[in-house]
Structures are given as C-alpha cells and as structure tokens.
Structure 1
Amino acid sequence: MNHNVYSNGSFQNSNGTEEKLDELRRLMGKAESDPLRIVGVGAGAWGSVFTALLQDCYGHFREKVQIRIWRRPGRSVDRATAEHLFEVINKREDILRRLIRRCAYLKYVEARLGDRTLYADEILKDGFCLNMIDTPLCPLKVVTNLQEAVWDADVVVNGLPSTETQEVFEEISRYWKERITMPIIISLAKGIEAALEPLPHIITPTQMINRATDVPLENILYLGGPNIASEIYNKEYANARICGAEKWRKPLAQFLRQPHFIVWDNSDLVTHEVMGGLKNVYAIGAGMVAALTNESATSKSVYFAYCTSEMIFITYLLAEEPEKLAGPLLADTYVTLLKGRNAWYGQMLAKGELSLDMGDSIKGKGMIQGVSAVQAFYELLSQTCLSVLHPDENKPVAPVELCPILKTLYKILITRVVSSQAILQTLRDETMNDPRDRIEIAQSHAFFRPSLLRQP
C-alpha cells in the first residue's frame, strides 16, 4: 500500500482505520500479540471526549489496542445532577437500551429517587462525564488506580488541568522507574504557570511532564485547537494541531485524524501551548462584558478589539515569528468566547451567580484554567527586567503597563480589589489608545524575549 503522508496527517488514497493502527504499532515496535496500550489521565470534558473518540475509532480492534481512562475515585454525583442525568438517559432510546442491556439502568432510577449515590468514575464507565452530562459518550474502561493505569502504557494522554499536571506526573514517574522504553505523551492541557527565578519564564504542562518524569521532550507533544468537546464528539467538523518533534507528531497526526476531526502538525510545541493558555485569560473578560452589557454586540466587539491587540502584543514578546501564530490564536480565542467555560465563568461572576470564593473548579464545568493564567501572565509581565519603552511617556515600563485589560482582570480575579464592573470602566477610559497603536508598538520594536520561554 502506498504510504504518502501529508503534513496534516492525511493519506493519499486514504488508508483505513486498521492500517493506521498497524502503522503506529509498527513504529512503536509492538509485537503481534502485544496490544498498544493507550491511557487517558484525567477525565474532564476534553480528556473524556478525546479518549472516547479513540475508543469509537479503534476500540473494536481488541487484540491490537487497549484504551483506558484514569480518574480519581470517590467523587459523588449530587441529587440534582442525578436527576438531570436520568432525563438525558430517557431522551435517548439508544442510551436507554444500552443501559438496560448492561443491567445498569436501575441504578440511575435509584439515584434519581435519592435511594442511591452515584460516583463519577462509575457513570464514566457507562459513558457519562460529570462535566458534560448532556453529551453521552461511548462506554469507557475506567481505572481508578493510577499505578495500574499507567505502568505499562505506550501512549499517555494528559487530560489534567495545568494546575494538577505536575503533581500527578510526579506520582506517575515513581511507577516508571523500571521502564526500559519511554512512552509517548500527548498533552491536552491549556494553561501555564510562572517562575520568576533565575529569570522570569513560563512553565507549560509539557515542560512540567518532562521535569517530573524525565521522559524526553521528543516524546511529549501538545494537541490543541479551536475545539468544544461536546461538539467534537457530536461530529461537528473541527481541526487541531499536534505540536512537537517530527519523529512522533506526523505519525500521531495520521493516527488521530478522523473525517470530522482534522489534525495538522507543527514543530513549535511551547509557543502553541502558551497561546492555548493566553486566550483563556481574555475569554473570562469577554464573558464579563457580555453579561454586564446585556449581550451588546457593540460592546463585545470593542472588547474583542482591545483584547486581541493585547494578545498580539504579548505574542511579540514570546515568539520570534509571531505572525505564524495569528490564525491559530484568533481561532482558539473566537471559539472560547463563543462557547468556552472561561467565558461562561466570566458571565456567571458578573451576574452574581458565582462568587470568587467558590474557587476555580466549578461543578459541572471543571477547572477554569483562565484564573491561574491571569495570575501567571500578570506576574511575568510585571517584571521590570522585561521593560519596554512606553510610547507616550518615553520611559521604560514593565510590559503589563501596556496591557490594561490584563491588569484589570488581575485586580478582579486575584487581588479582588475591584468588582467585575471595572472591566467596563477600563474599556471606557478616555485615555485608552486605539488598539492599533499597541500592535504598531509591538511591530516596530524588538520586543522578543526568548528568556520567557527558556529559549537561548
């Protein structure tokens, strides 16, 4: 068979599903009797959907591949969620029949009546993600013991929030001490952390995994794109990029590609990963503006102009060739503003239906990654050693001084010295420059700071 692979992972003459699985098995040196072991770590909405997509596509080749997902045990499903889950089940005849065949329907009846407590790992086996109840998935093989899940895994999919990645992979590293071959790790996490010593720099989830496990960076990849998990599982057309070393990104782009989920590949792992975290920052503010202006299209467009100019400005600090990131960054930002959990969180805060005291892990939504990202980007860009020339005052200032929306979000979410209303006051500030000016400043100065991404 002719194996002509394009950069987006497609095949000339369209190889079949089994051939793609066989090719990845061959590249990983799997013996005929040894299944390829794929494990999702973390069962949030995107992590669960990603594992379910693989299960739907490859799970019926049981002798060739084993697909499992790990989540922590003990998370109970409250009564209101159990009632909603029961409604979802009864609206879908295929789901209802499947549960009856598996002798699993009765427990949902009992949970609805309050006679039984369901657990998140228990319902995930039946295809229900606690953060995405309205989108039933295929049944999944769920493992609650982390050592059992990962010790012999060939491919590990990191579906954890960035705030949990370091801790969990430090535990995983203890189970890999005796390994001879290194696994491949695909990280889905969109979030960053900041470190200020020895120089201010960003720490991404792939870097956390590398430090925690000593798995070489060429075996660690990032997959991201303008994706809403529930829509992807419902076969809405979507695309994503898998970023990392050429050795694995091209074969994995081919393996992950499906007719409705197009996967391209790119060598720039860290910058794409950081951009995935950056758009979450401004999505929270977009949600606030939408709620505070009663969904005013004019106000939302004003905010979009200002926030994209700040993102472009920050991109010039982080990337030597920022123009290449414009399309992916704006696409990811757009979909997050339309339907992402960070924009939803901003709306709920502004409406008073959520409070900051509730934390950034919200029932039914999962981790709101933008909150920690606001703090990380603010702390990094407030360092005077990164100073840039202020165009009006003609003196060096920390980059954050040219990012008024980021400063305001930090005051709202982190120091809590102002309310959500402050985001509108920032937009209406008569001293605010035309968003174009900020972009021109970035384009006309040598702003690139390679130290921010720990590049030479």
Structure 2
Amino acid sequence: MQRIAVLGAGSWGTAFAKVLADAGRDVVLWARRPEVADEITGQKLNTGYLPGIRLPETLRATADPILALDGAEAVVLAVPSQTLRANLASWRELLPEGVTLVSLAKGIELGTGKRMSEVVAEVAQVPSEHVAVVSGPNLAREIAAQQPTATVVACMDHERAVAVQRASANGYFRPYTITDVVGCELGGACKNVIALACGIAHGLGFGDNTMASLITRGLAETARLGAALGADPMTFAGLAGLGDLVATCASPLSRNRSFGERLGKGETLAQAQEAAHGQVAEGVKSCSSIQDLGAKHGVDMPITDGVRRVCHDGLDPRAMAAELLGRAQKAERQ
C-alpha cells in the first residue's frame, strides 16, 4: 500500500494521515470544507483540529472525493460513526475495485446496532474480509506530536491487516495485528461510554479509587458483551481493550472524559456541547445503541445504562453513582 486516501480531516483523521505520510506513504486527505483542505496543502496546518502541529510536506488535501480516491490502494474512513453510512454511500461508486477499507470510527450505529465494519461492508458492498479496523490508545493530539504509541489493526484477512500494519509503522507509531474485528470494535466503542462515566465521577469530585473501579467494572461489562458476540476475550486485555480504555478514561485530552466531567459538575447536555464548540462526544450517541445491543443479547451493562440515563433521560449524576453502589452484591466474575 503506497497510495492511500484518508477521508475525514478531523483530529484523528489528520493525525492518522500524518502517521501514514511519516511512514513514507503517498497520502491524500479529504476535507469536507475547501478552506481546511487549502490550509493543509498550502500551510501544512490544520488549526481547527490540531493547532500548532506541523504536517508533513508530502501530505496533500482536497475537498474533492474523486481526486482523493483516484488510484488509492487503501481508503481510510475517518468520519464520525453516526455519519459513516451516509458519507460512504456518497463515495461508494468512487471506490477502487478490491481496495482495503480501513475504519477509524469507534461506535455502534444507532437504529441498527451494527459495528462500523459491518456498516462499511454493507454500504460499500464488499466482503467483510476487505475491511480493517484501527483501534488502541490513540489520542490524536499526542500522536500528531509524535509521542510513542502502539495500536491494533484488526482484519479477518490477516494479510490485509499486515499490509495496513506495514503502511502505518514508523518511528513513533507501532501497530500490531489481530483477526478479532468484533472485540476490537466493541472495545473501541464501549470505552467512550466508560470514559464519560469517569468524567462524570471526576466532575462529582471523586478520586482515583472511583476511577479505577469504573475502568475495571467497565472493562468487565465490555467483555461480557464481547463474549455474547463471539469476541476473543484476550482482545479486551490488549491495546484495543484495556489500553484504549485507560487512555480515554484518564486523559484530559479525551473528549468523552472532558464532556462527562462537565455533566458531573452539573452542566446540561446542551451546555457541555456548547463548551465543546458544538461537538458531541462519541459516547453520548453510542451509549444508547450499546445499551440496546446489550439488552438484545441479555448482557447486563449497568455503567452504560447509567450514562445513557444521565445523557438522555435527565438522571442526576449523583443518583447514578448511588444506584451503581446500591446494586445487589455478587461475586466479581458473575
């Protein structure tokens, strides 16, 4: 994979395009707004999403998807999970034949309960083996600043995973491969919701014991859902599980944690969104679809349900904390 198109010039899309360019790939980044594409190409900056980060001289950007996709050997999809279906439908006829599609989105689709790789395969009308997923402790700002990190490339076709691994490996970005797409995607989606819970707890003034408890029990309910859907349990002990969960729950750079903190301090959903410059944290949208998925498979997900009720049913964050602590006592591994 030498010629790669990255569709989506937000924080993570731009950071991953930089990773690929720093790995020596020929990268074209698609931006929805022409002024963003012009800034990236002309000034090597994306001040709206990664202020102060200098982008590689070789990185080009365009607002024309036809130009971005022309000759691409891999297509990276870096748009939010709930807009992926509509965006990909508009690009479907432009996709090169047999191309590997790489999803960076972390969520479960509202209404369908589908994972992002399932949405990609369905909309693009390609075999599931053609879709890869990238997940792990991947805070965009730190990666763009070339701080060392590791990640996971998951694909049912191991050779495609290896090709993406080789295309993205560089001096600060170390990818590993797995074939467990289900576990990789569930870890990436659920950690956003648990990070909201950790942010809420921090906003309420709780400390590290509470955070560690939420992270651990959040991992447990994620693993229960994974087991019901056929994921490899070891995936949740790896980079796409525990690694991504810890980074997202602990870092102030995490949009989900920061958003949850505002809710814990008493702000409404609208106020928290306004403070985030109109952006809604991914977990706010996905908590409902993840809860529905758990209910469909008979999986108990109390933290996810609490976050959903705080975000969408007006539950007071303190009441959520009291409910979680007041649940019936049981053995840890039940």
Where on the TM-score scale, by shorter chain, does this alignment land: which range? 0.7 to 0.9
Shift of 1:279: 0.9
Match of 1:132 among 41, 44, 50: 50
Q: Which position in structure 2 is the counterpart of 1:206?
A: 117
Aligned residues: 327
Whole-angstrom CA distance in 2 between matches of 1:365 and 1:247? 40
Q: Which position in structure 2 is the counterpart of 1:257?
A: 169
Match of 1:376 among 284, 289, 300: 289
Shift of 1:361: 9.0
Whole-angstrom CA distance in 2 between matches of 1:324 and 1:67? 30
Which one-letter code corresponds to 2:56 in the other structure?
C
Structure 2 SS opposite 1:259: coil
Q: Which position in structure 2 is the counterpart of 1:270?
A: 182
Structure 1 SS opposite 2:191: helix
1:30-49 → structure 2 map (5 Å cutoff):
36-49=2-15
Which one-letter code corresponds to 1:381 in the other structure?
G
Match of 1:154 among 68, 73, 76: 73
Deviations, residues 49-98 of structure 1 (Å, cap 9, x unaligned): 1101222332xxxxxx6321111116xxxxxxxxxxxxxxxxxxxxxxxx
Rg larger for: 1
Q: Which position in structure 1 is the counterpart of 2:315?
A: 418
Moved over 4 A (4+): 358-367
1:8-407 → structure 2 map (5 Å cutoff):
24=1, 36-58=2-24, 66-73=26-33, 119-125=35-41, 126=43, 127-138=45-56, 140-176=59-95, 181-193=97-109, 202-244=113-155, 245-293=157-205, 295-319=206-230, 321-328=232-239, 329-339=241-251, 340-352=254-266, 355-357=268-270, 363=276, 366=279, 368-383=281-296, 386-387=297-298, 399=299, 402-407=300-305
Moved more, 125-134 or 186-195: 125-134
Whole-angstrom CA distance in 2 between matches of 1:377 and 1:319? 16
Shift of 1:432: 4.0
Give the root-mean-square deviation of aligned CA atoms. 2.5
TM-score where L is the length of structure 1: 0.66
Which one-letter code corresponds to 2:146 in the other structure?
K
Shift of 1:259: 2.4
- Unaligned runs of 5+ residues in structure 1 are 1-23, 25-35, 59-64, 75-118, 197-201, 388-398, 442-456
Whole-angstrom CA distance in 2 between matches of 1:129 and 1:221? 29
Q: Is the 8 A contact 1:157 1:187 kept in 2?
A: yes
Q: Is the 8 A contact 2:75 2:102 kept in 1?
A: yes
Whole-angstrom CA distance in 1 between matches of 2:122 and 2:135? 21
Whole-angstrom CA distance in 1 between matches of 2:125 and 2:272? 32
Structure 2 SS opposite 1:333: helix
Which one-letter code corresponds to 1:319 in the other structure?
G
Whole-angstrom CA distance in 1 between matches of 2:322 and 2:13? 37
Whole-angstrom CA distance in 2 between matches of 1:365 and 1:330? 29
